[in-house]
Amino acid sequence: MTFEELGVSAPICRAVAELGYQQPMPVQEAVIPYLLGEPIDLIALAQTGTGKTAAFGLPLLQNVERSLSSSGGATGVPRALVLCPTRELCLQIADDLTAYSKYQPTVRILPVYGGSSIEAQIRTLRRGVEVIVATPGRLIDLMERGAASLDAIETVVLDEADEMLTMGFSESLQTILSQVPRERHLLLFSATMPREISSIAASYMHEPKEIIVGTKNEGNKNIRHYYYVVSARHKYLALKRIADYYPDIYGIIFCRTRKETQEIADQLIRDGYNADALHGELSQAQRDYVMQKFRIRNLQLLVATDVAARGLDVNDLTHVIHYGLPDDIESYTHRSGRTARAGKLGISIAICHSRERGRLRDIERISHATIERKQLPSGSEICQKQLFHLADRIERVELTDDTTLDTVLPDLVRKLDWIDREELVRRLMLLEHRRLLDYYESEEVIEEADDKGRLPSEPKEGKKRDKRNAVAEEGMKRLFINFGKLDRMFPNKLIELINKCVPGRVKIGKIDLLPRFSFFEVEEADAQEVIRSMSSYEVDGRRIAVDYADALGSEGSGRKERRPKRSAGGFDSERKPHRKGGARSGEGAFDKYKDKDRTKRSRSRR
């Protein structure tokens, strides 16, 4: 199948051919013919990196041009609108559309996003544009100032719709959608299908066509998923081993908090890796600088929070590393989807604690990914990898003229003349090998989980704390709640919920999350109020039920996980290798081990 055969016009085919697109990708084959026909609404479930920008972009541009020529050249009025969650994605989509419309001189594209001069955007809109690519907040601002009119819009695309909802743009989307004409294509692209998307579809779409590229919520088949289980205090050492084992790594290390992100990046930098941090506490200028360094591969390891990494338009990542698992499964899918783009292979690695094994299984089940358990590479395995990397670098080195070297080279050759070739390679490699082995031999032994996933320091099966029958600490009351991990109830969400129901004064103790229900402790004096207030709340349309855990009798501690039957509480009522200087520069791990003092220094700091 070619783009011509899909009905794409000659000027656009020419532009995409110049970009090196030889044939349509699956999402393009599936989507383009629908969008070139009669206006319809469409929901496409496609992961990032599958070619979805061109899937909606090419027909969008072609339709805009057709509409311009049929309305007798009335240009300057926006005909198409693309909404996306972040300014980076906004710029990337606008860039792509500009490239695809290279031979369509009448089509002008404007990215509008927060954080840049609104006056400049207003001026450009007054001069006239045909396509607006926008983040929702800024577009509403422009609409309120009367600068952006949506009266002639024929196509609206919601790109990364799930991300927009996660980022709290639901209301803004509704405001915008209520102001575009009813007879238009509404296209919704999303990597996952949370419930809120169905409700947008129900309110604003008319019999939408649903296209799924791959299976719903299924990760990219080109991603290999691995996980390592280590004790919490060895997570950082494990991270370094993984980075050392992949000398050509170009990846993002996802952390859960800004603080952790900065700490890990600082440690990596101190240990000689080519790394930097990206999180919300940096200024926009600092974030732009880091992203640009990463984009042009002057940075090999980017340590980032999920939020800050959103919209970072970097393809070709070799690895995504989860430094701890994210709270929700969709984040795992999004993070992992940043590698293995455009048909390439990629590796997603989770460094977990043994307590996270259950969540890993949930992720596997829901995302349909097989996450393979791996043992950390040993020092000698890493050494072998690094030596081959050195050999690769030797093969790839550019033989430029260098006067200093040229002057001394004949003498050096003469000096080593007595050593034959094999021995010369042996001596050279041995130099590096010793340094690496010394480094690993002096490194602390990393405590890894056994085949059953148990850490040496962890209590054996049977001695584990029984979450269901645990007794509250003194002064605290243990309460039951009818939401569990499968309902996406995690500690921070539960704490948030308790604080929302009983604002600002409840001291929360131990939290035990089980798949379908959970327990948490609050101070005795607050328990009754917490039960009363929380039991009138709903989460995701389901009523919360909270009661004293000891009121459950044996029900809550049954061997099968059932939702306990209760009436009093109302349960029944509802059921470096990476030195600075560039990822491509070929600088390897070896330099890092040269300065043993520095390594020791940094080790002693940990």
Contacts to ligand AMP by CB under 6 A: 21, 24-25, 28, 48-54, 315, 341-342
Compute the least distance from the CB of residue 13 to ligand AMP, in Å.
Answer: 11
Four-CA torsion 321, 322, 323, 329, nearest 10 degrees: 180
Compute the least distance from the CB of residue 41 to ligand AMP, in Å.
Answer: 21
Sign of CA dihedral 133, 137, 142, 148: positive
As a whole number of angstroms, the distance between CA 471 and CA 477 comes to 9
- The nearer residue to ligand AMP, 52 or 335, going by C-beta atoms, is 52
As a whole number of angstroms, the distance between CA 183 and CA 359 comes to 44
- The nearer residue to ligand AMP, 280 or 343, going by C-beta atoms, is 343
Structure tokens at 120: 């400049």
Compute the least distance from the CB of residue 136 to ligand AMP, in Å.
Answer: 20
Structure tokens at 303: 């340590």
Compute the least distance from the CB of residue 302 to ligand AMP, in Å.
Answer: 18
- The nearer residue to ligand AMP, 35 or 476, going by C-beta atoms, is 35
Compute the least distance from the CB of residue 580 to ligand AMP, in Å.
Answer: 27
Compute the least distance from the CB of residue 23 to ligand AMP, in Å.
Answer: 6
- The nearer residue to ligand AMP, 19 or 74, going by C-beta atoms, is 19
C-alpha to C-alpha distances, 560 to 46, 390, 445, 556, 570, nearest whole angstrom: 37, 55, 39, 9, 21
Compute the least distance from the CB of residue 343 to ligand AMP, in Å.
Answer: 8
Residue whose Cβ sits closest to ligand AMP:
53
- The nearer residue to ligand AMP, 22 or 403, going by C-beta atoms, is 22
CB of 73 closer than 8 Å to CB of 58 = no
- The nearer residue to ligand AMP, 310 or 488, going by C-beta atoms, is 310
Q: Among 392, 292, 235, which Cα is nearest to 243's?
A: 235
- The nearer residue to ligand AMP, 53 or 267, going by C-beta atoms, is 53
Structure tokens at 391: 């050999």
Q: Among 171, 96, 44, which Cα is nearest to 111's?
A: 96
Residue with tokens 């010369």: 424
- The nearer residue to ligand AMP, 53 or 331, going by C-beta atoms, is 53
Structure tokens at 438: 């010394």
Compute the least distance from the CB of residue 28 to ligand AMP, in Å.
Answer: 6
- The nearer residue to ligand AMP, 32 or 436, going by C-beta atoms, is 32
By CB neighbour count within 10 A (0-12 exposed, 13-18 middle, 19+ buried), where does 120 fall? exposed
Compute the least distance from the CB of residue 431 to ligand AMP, in Å.
Answer: 41
Beta strands 538-539 and 508-513 are unpaired
Residues in contact with 169: Cβ distance below 8 Å, sequence separation at least 6, in sequence order:
85, 136, 137
CB of 132 closer than 8 Å to CB of 80 = yes
